[in-house]
Amino acid sequence: MTVWHGRSGKKHTGGQIIIARKKRKYELGRQPIHVKIGKEHKFSLRTKGGGEKIRAMSVEFANVLDPSTKKVQKTKILDVLENPANPQLVRSKIITKGAIIKTEVGKARITSRPTQHGIVNAIIVEEKK
């Protein structure tokens, strides 16, 4: 099923709007991709203007920044611990921006968008005492 990002035929009050034109190709969207933990799988898309967008389907590693030492290291993702966007994403082990993941170096919060960038960047979460 196609996703359309154009204006709907309804007003916010519930009244009908008569749209004076058809749908346009640039108003098309895509189904969301849920990035899982697993063997690396990525693909690229051509965007409007001829650019390229790399999308991740599954990821195995994350680039984790340690804010105290300012060092970045590539570490294995072990688990998804929490996600403020939706608790269902934690049960499904889906990685999104803002999710807290468990890595080999500790807990980290995702700062990149894996479905847009094709890579997982994260920052270590300091435990509050």
pLDDT at 127: 65
| pTM beyond cutoff 0.85 | no
Domains and CATH numbers, the chain: 33-124 (3.10.290.70)
Asked if pLDDT for residue 126 goes beyond 80, the answer is: no
Could you read off the pLDDT of 28-60 as tens digits, one per residue? 988 889 999 999 999 999 988 999 989 999 999
State percent of the chain over pLDDT 90: 78
Q: Are 23 and 9 in contact (CB under 8 A)?
A: no
H or E, element range at 90 = helix 87-91
For residue 15, CA distances in Å to 19, 21, 103 come to 13, 18, 51
